[in-house]
Structure 1
Amino acid sequence: MDIKYIIYIISFFGLIEKGFSQELQQHSTKNWEDFRKDYKVPKWFADAKFGIWVHWGAQTQPKQGGGWYARNMYQQDVGKELWGKNAYPYHNKTYGHPSKIGYKDVVNEWKADSLDTDALLKYFKSLGAKYFVALANHHDHFDNFESTYNPWNSVNVGPKRDIISEFEKSTRKYQLPFGVSSHDDRFLSWWLPAFGADKEGAYKDIPYDGRLTKEDGKGLWWEGLDPADLYGLPPEMRDEAYLVSVKEAWVKRTVELATKYDVDMLWFDGYGFPYGNYGKKASEAFYNFKLEKYGKLDAIVAGKFKDEPSTVMDVERGGANSIQNLPWQGTLTFTSWFYKEDRQILHNARTVVEMLVDMISKNGNLLLNVELLPNGKIPNNHRLILDSIGAWVNMNAEAIYASKPWTIYGDNLQGNRKGNGLAETDLDGAKKQNNDTDFNERTIKSSMYPADEVRFTCKGKNLYIFVMNPKEKNILIPSLALQKSQRRISKINLLGSKEKIHFDQNQNGLTINLPNKLPTELVIVFKIEGLTNYMLN
């Protein structure tokens, strides 16, 4: 890192030590209101359409127990959170009782010993991914990078590797934009079960290891580490000064993460800015860092934001209902956010492609999570799905990358996008959201699209028609009916095929006859040249 940027970061952290808000506001080249006025989504993101995310950390180490293992292992009864029902019994059977061996010990078991970031990024790029995102920390408060401000990190404990640094270097090697995701701001409430105890059984009322102190580690593997730096202080010890110190430490960690690894996307979980204005100030510092270094702002803060024009809207496991004015992003994962053997697979190549097509028709991108095994490898059954997705993306690339929404996003709109309900999520948070956006993913349990339902994209003067379920011999598209003062469609091509396409256009619509041999069993894409200015009735 250039010396002037090191000085910039040191200066920033010094201001936080003096006092958070006023000095930081004065130091920044621009404040958040400035960014809100003139921010533009970078072209690399608007054109990308398809990215890969590795939502991977120490919670992958246990084979069962859901994506919130660290929290659920401290609960004999997880109530409504059924995805974590195996965490407590699995932990007791595999590691021991959480009063003796807790999540801090699980972290130390995680070695990531087969992680090859070069091989992963080469593969992801071959699938057609145009950007890559790695998880920097989850609700467990464990950092996957060399953190100055959090001793519970992957360099000190567990893998003894700077995971984010390795991913960043490989991503740059394969010339892709690099992003990180941070899910840490809810850790204090998320960790509350770690300060409890069994309500029944042999260990009834014996405190879990969240109440251990630094002194308790003498002579043990974690000597010198303080459990309170991972779990937070016990609830009864959290006064206002402590809560402020947690938020200020979060800002330091986040700005260090964003600047040391010079990320292109800073992705936040939850709804709105983490810790309110603290998250806004960290984002402000990130944007100013990019401006100082490159002379322009070509970076993104993404999350479940509303009315924040200087951010990118993120939709978790779902999609928008209509064409959005600004580029946005939807996220998707095959089973659990972290790989677990006891979680059923929710997606195959068909459903992922369907979600991708629906998103790009509405000006969105798909960020697809790849669930790595604890050792850093891709599960074999997931790789087979990814291979099929990659083959489809590469075959239909011209209709995907740098495409724009057409006048309408689709026709014959009857398909039910609803999946199988909520999955790994904050249930209370999800209820606050529009049920037609977050968590409305199509899954393998969803019914197939009707044979005539289509989506559209356009690029230049070309219109692309995505047939969502090409099971019939012909389809009628009413929105492409022959109209006065409009030229007739003269030629239609099927991407990935050399077959001649027969069609008929009249006042009722465009009827396309599908050839006997299709290039894929998934969505097929027709190309019509010179038709993007076609006016609808």
Structure 2
Amino acid sequence: MQYYKYILSLVLVAFLSVPTFAQDNDLSWEELSATYEFPAWYTEARFGIWVHWGAQTEPMQGGGWYARHMYMEDVKHEKWGRNAYAFHNKTYGHPSEIGYKDVLNEWKADKLNTDALVSYFKSVGAKYFVALANHHDHFDNFNSTYHPWNSVNLGPKRDIIREFEQSSKKYNMRFGVSSHDDRFLGWWEPAFGADTSGPYKGVPYDGHMTIEDGKGKWWEGLDPADLYGLPPAKRTPEYIEGVKKNWKLRHTELVTKYDLDYLWFDGYNFPYGDYGKAVSTTYFNKKRQSNGKIDAVLAGKFSSEPTTVKDIERGGASEILAYPWQGITTLRTWFYKEDEGGLDYRHSARTVIETLADYNSKNGNLVLNVELLRDGTIPTTQKLILDEVGAWIHLNSEAVYASKPWKVYGDNLDSYLKVLENSAIGEADLEALKKQKSEEHFNERTLASPAYGKDEVRYTTNGDVLYMFVLNPAEGQIELPTLGLKSKQKPGKITTIEMIGSDQKIEYKQDNTKLVLTVPANRPNNLTTVFRIKGVL
């Protein structure tokens, strides 16, 4: 607990010493918010890639909350971690002796090549890249002065965030980080438990270990309490306040030592309240003073902060939003795992592209997680998906980058629900799908979702062109009421319709009630087809 004592006694001095830039002209959060405008690089990007990657990728099984679940004989409703305890015992040893602190040191990231990763992500169409700075496991993937449990001191012994930052600058990619650390105290409580039966019944897990227990071991000099926190019974109000102050020190360093274009918090407000707000203020002030303007983005599940990007996890907006927002998702799970049944993909290139079109049509960005292997490389299956997504984005880039919503985001909406209403699906299941659609978080469509009807479309605009995305195209005619000359949207008379990627003539007829368009049999690919329509706007 050496550094917590330091914090409690000298925190004022430390606060003054962290920022490396002039503070004479610092503005308050309210002053910054009053003049803030979302930067064009972000609102025009429409597609970013994230690597939700850290030490919890080292174990090949056990779910995305491995560090927590490895201490739980019964994960109860958190079923995604059901293999962690058994896998840990079999692979590493009993958690009373070999705990997560030891797993950290096993993680070497020995094939990590940040240049190769960032240049590849750019090649498949991403306009910004995000790396994980820390997760709920309370381990920093950067050279943290205020937290000894970091990737420079142990494990990879590399400043992962610095390497990704440098590669992003090298390849002219906007760079950001995500922070998930502010819930670690409650999240780590199972590390202070013990088995309820068997030969280790009642033997405390290694969350109870102290710095003295490390003498002669690989972690000598490191205090487990700095990783797991103090045992719950010893967490006084003063101690918890020290934790929050330490979080502020670490994250102030993160936003000042590294040149970040984007900062993402995993929570529903500023982490630790005013502490998170202070870090965000420092971040924006640094960007303003360095670049003359705040060309940076702060994202999270904020409820009443108009200066932040609204983040929706594994879901999307149900309507066009007047402000920038983003949906985050992953192809399979968040951290790469090979649990039984866990290799099933939630997404393919088809569903990623459908999701991108849907989000863009509602003024949103898609941030897609790539589940790097523990060595820092991309799984083969995920690379094949990304290659296909990238080819589609490059073909249809004019309809994606810098696109804006139209008056409505689509036509023939909820086509899959209409099909199901006439099928044998149970009423309860149908109502559940309708409810899911009306929500935001966790409402995403996946490979398991009913297919879109062949006539459901999404719209974006760019300049004087309307782009129409036919989500699940099939040869034949489709009718689009929103493009009727006397529809509520009041579209202009269409002068030309072209299918992007093809020079074949497109047959269509626009009258007062609808546009009838013939989707050709021969299309650039079997994915969402995009039509360029002129005269409407």
Q: Same fold (TM over 0.5)?
A: yes
Q: Is contact 2:484-2:491 (8 Å) kept? A: no
Displacement of 1:292 after TM fit?
1.4
What amino acid is aligned across from residue 450 of structure 2 in structure 1? S
What amino acid is aligned across from residue 401 of structure 2 in structure 1? Y
Q: What residue in structure 1 maps to residue 427 of structure 2?
A: none
What amino acid is aligned across from residue 462 of structure 1 in structure 2? V
Q: What residue in structure 1 maps to residue 422 of structure 2?
A: none
What amino acid is aligned across from residue 360 of structure 1 in structure 2? N
Q: Is contact 2:437-2:443 (8 Å) kept? A: no
Displacement of 1:37 after TM fit?
2.1
Q: What residue in structure 1 maps to residue 400 of structure 2?
A: 400
Q: Is contact 2:474-2:521 (8 Å) kept? A: no
Residue from 240, 265, 275 that aligns with 1:278: 275
Aligned residues: 501
Structure 1 residues 17 and 402: CA distance shift in structure 2, 3 A: closer
Q: Are positions 1:526 and 2:531 aligned together?
A: yes
Task: Output the CA distance in 2 between the equivalents of 1:456 and 1:355.
Answer: 13
Q: Are positions 1:459 and 2:462 aligned together?
A: yes
1:337-416 correspondence to structure 2 within 5 Å: 337-342=334-339, 343=342, 344-415=344-415
Q: Are positions 1:489 and 2:494 aligned together?
A: yes
1:103-114 correspondence to structure 2 within 5 Å: 103-114=100-111
What amino acid is aligned across from residue 471 of structure 2 in structure 1? M
**Segments of 4+ moved more than 3 angstroms:** 12-20, 483-487
Displacement of 1:200 after TM fit?
1.4
Q: What residue in structure 2 maps to residue 58 of structure 1?
A: 55
TM-score scaled by length of structure 1: 0.91
What amino acid is aligned across from residue 459 of structure 1 in structure 2? N
Give CA-to-partner distance per residue, 1:472-502, whole Å, 9 cap, x none: 4111110000249975212101111121111
Q: What residue in structure 1 maps to residue 509 of structure 2?
A: 504
Q: Is contact 1:138-1:182 (8 Å) kept? A: yes
Task: Report the identity percentage.
Answer: 59
Displacement of 1:323 after TM fit?
0.5
Displacement of 1:512 after TM fit?
0.8
Structure 1 residues 227 and 415: CA distance shift in structure 2, 3 A: farther
Q: What residue in structure 2 maps to residue 289 of structure 1?
A: 286
Displacement of 1:28 after TM fit?
6.6
Q: Is contact 2:451-2:472 (8 Å) kept? A: yes
SS in 2 for 1:67: coil
Q: Is contact 1:16-1:248 (8 Å) kept? A: no
Task: Output the CA distance in 2 between the equivalents of 1:510 and 1:413.
Answer: 16
Task: Output the CA distance in 1 between the equivalents of 2:107 and 2:416.
Answer: 41
Q: Is contact 2:491-2:536 (8 Å) kept? A: no
Task: Output the CA distance in 1 between the equivalents of 2:242 and 2:437.
Answer: 34
Q: Is contact 1:411-1:453 (8 Å) kept? A: yes
1:129-144 correspondence to structure 2 within 5 Å: 129-144=126-141
Task: Output the CA distance in 1 between the equivalents of 2:142 and 2:356.
Answer: 31
1:132-171 correspondence to structure 2 within 5 Å: 132-171=129-168
What amino acid is aligned across from residue 503 of structure 1 in structure 2? Y
Task: Output the CA distance in 1 between the equivalents of 2:414 and 2:367.
Answer: 25
Residue from 476, 481, 490 that aligns with 1:478: 481
Displacement of 1:214 after TM fit?
0.3
Task: Output the CA distance in 1 between the equivalents of 2:15 and 2:482.
Answer: 61
SS in 2 for 1:270: coil
Gaps of 5+ in 1: 1-11, 21-25, 418-432, 533-537
Gaps of 5+ in 2: 1-9, 418-435
SS in 1 for 2:156: coil
Q: Is contact 2:486-2:513 (8 Å) kept? A: no
Give CA-to-partner distance per residue, 1:236-262, whole Å, 9 cap, x none: 111111111111110111111111111
SS in 2 for 1:189: helix
Displacement of 1:18 after TM fit?
7.5
Task: Output the CA distance in 2 between the equivalents of 1:33 and 1:144.
Answer: 31
Q: Is contact 1:39-1:309 (8 Å) kept? A: no
Q: Is contact 1:198-1:204 (8 Å) kept? A: yes
Displacement of 1:334 after TM fit?
1.1
Task: Output the CA distance in 1 between the equivalents of 2:223 and 2:491.
Answer: 73
